Structure 1
Amino acid sequence: ALLEMKTQESASKMIEYYGQHPATIRGRTIIIQYSNHPELKTEQPNAAADNAVSSANGLVTAYEQEEPPPVLRVIVENLIAPVTIEVLHKIFSRFGTVQKIVIFSKNNTFQALIQMGSSTEALTAKLILNDQNIYNGCCTLRIDFSKLNNLNVKFNNDKSRDFTVARAPGDYPFAYFDPNMTPHLGVYGDVQRVKVMYNKKDNALIQFADATQAQQAMQNLNNVKLLGKPMKITFSKHSQVAMPKEGSESGLTKIFSNSPLHRFKKPNSKNFHNIYPPSEVLHLSNIPLEVPEERVREIFDEHGFRLVAIKFFLKEKKMALAQMESIEESVEALIKLHNFQLSANHHLRVSFSKSVIQQPQQQQQHQQ
């Protein structure tokens, strides 16, 4: 086909862009180069071509008036084959730099948020990939712009990934300890300081308020899986985590002594009597009365967690039990959702529970 642009500069930009980011149509790579014709002469009207030109110019005009965000919202319909972060990264990388990806389930549909390196790259990916199938006959992509300008990825796992974060070689993708992953440790004690080892970033020193709290964390969390790997926890020879010297790698040490997440500040707090090992069931509290069960379910969905069951307390509507698919999922959910803001004055409180949620089938068997 011959394509005439408005200016030679536009034609040059198009050739340069697709030289670096080859496009494909129906499985074939498109070759774009200069023609010998200075202009196109059409002897008869072509409705299809006119409509295509009009649509393309409309998109360009809209883009020039209001630059779209670099974050795309992707829905995968007819999900038969597995779709992972790695699959999406490979597909969208053809159109630019993929910076971050978050995948989750909402309303029983697979969804993803994908942040590209620029608005132009996001627009290009949307125009070319929308309504296309990942695999033959299934996994259809429905792509639109998200309202977000930036994705906040706290953890790198199979549900979220920040590709802009440098990683230690080997042991991909979890070859480091993220100090922000300490809320699950805070269930057993108030974390004061965390220091990631400089030469081995999947190791860390964690200082609690006292030795009893450290003992509780070790007893309950040793060998528990986190992001696919069992945690190995032992006592350190150090009595406290030393602060880094000035000019050294200070980013590897974090102070949590004034953290609002501490649960054991008050003497004789009821939290001392509600310490349980990790389980599939989480105890949720501090839920505002105006937040319905459906919203709580949505929050779990948005963060990539599937609730097996949820049960609100009859007498105390601010509390509920939430059952996850596994202990590993439960640990990750606690890390991500503890202190999640539910309203202006309410943050979700999450801890492990010793209770179980009886499914309807179990209740019927129990009654029989």
Structure 2
Amino acid sequence: MSSSTPSTTANGTDSKQYKGDRSPCAPSRVLHVRKVPIEVSEAEVVSLGVPFGKVTNLLMLKGKNQAFIEMASEEAAMTMVNYYTTATPHVRNQPVYIQYSNHRELKTDNLPNQGRAQAALQAVNAVHTGNMSLSGTATASDGGMMPGQSPVLRIIVENLYYPVSLEVLHQIFSKFGTVLKIITFTKNNQFQALLQYADPMNAHHAKVALDGQNIYNGCCTLRVEFSKLTSLNVKYNNDKSRDFTRLDLPSGDGQPTLDPTMQTAFGAPGIISSPYPGAAGFAPAIGFPQAGLSMQAMPGALGPLTIPSSAMTGRMAIHGMTPTAIHSVLLVSNLNPDSISPHELFILFGVYGDVHRVKILFNKKENALIQMADATQAQLAMSHLNGQRLYGKVIRVTISKHQTVQLPREGQEDQGLTKDFSGSPLHRFKKPGSKNFQNIFPPSATLHLSNIPPSTTDDFLKDLFASSGYTVKAFKFFQKDRKMALIQLGSVEEAIQALIHLHNHDLGENHHLRVSFSKSTI
């Protein structure tokens, strides 16, 4: 048997040597995967390696719950082992363990039952290189790297409904290799960052895997591209910039990444500011006290990036921490009890998430409980609607201690104050990946109208709002699409009330008007 062909006996050696005090093998591009559930497919095992580079071979030993993965380069294998050492991968909800093999390559040509492994390799790698080609940075023939490619990435975070800190970016991007430096800044009203890897290949893999992904479910979308810069010059280590190779840099002014109004909206300190504990058994942690951060001086040593279950239904969220506690119920106070109804609260709060239940309190009708689909949406609604004026009163929105809104028992007097909207056809965010996720804005005097029938005129729509008691200051159809328009009203308070009253208004021709807040002005 060739020394480079793991078979059952070679594999047994790998296993036996592992017992507890086994000295780790020297780095190799062949990796040994243990405790693989017997029902796992070849493609699932290959997928463990794909984020780190091309997988060139696979050997499954199902009877022993083990597998061998061969990566295209030793560097890719090292990045993968470093990451999975601290973030144990799970396949079919079972932890699997990855370490270097004492084999330098896999020779599987003469082994039986390799057809499925080779098919899985081709399929998974084809999808991966296909993604690379689409991103305009790679071709299948050169393995994805363009010559002279920069190790610096430019990152833009779109749909920034939660603050994204430098630490969060470090945690996400460390998965793909050693991050040397990060600089964050705001440009064109967008949160952006420049991030430098130790190696351009790391930057390439991160770009392919992360471009277009959401940090949180339905928001904070990453746009990743190569920077023209080839190196970053960091002057200060603080919450806006960090050089992980130089602990001697001063903290400078340490201005907060978020402007004060954003900080107020999200409630200081940031929702997602939590220290990441260093992993045991590694080099001493570097502490950045002003950022409340404890981080390892090695790649991938941050906590595991798990996918919250809420992300499974929407577009994938890649950041492991949910932005809030589990509570998805809001307490709304200082309502105008003479004017408000459960349906109106459903329409207003439905701009920021899917409202499942609304209860106006029987004995305190200026208060209501609103149950959103999840905690992310509850936080979003709270940050945008707390402090807004509704029917002449400034409403207060906080997270409730209740975990659900109870429906009234049979025969219990309720006066129609509790309503279940979980089956409503008016939910805006039911469809995973819906465009509505990208069009969530704070209340504004300008409303975005859509689903307008072709025969509807601007005068008809202006009259609709004016006859309902609203001051119409400006109106315009979209040039390219007359199914959409903008209308500017006298105040934000008027626009809130108009949205409540005229969203889903029947315009005839089987069209119901859709109303949202706009970020544009006319």
TM-score (norm 2): 0.35
Structure having greater relative contact order (Cα 8 Å, sep ≥ 6) = 1
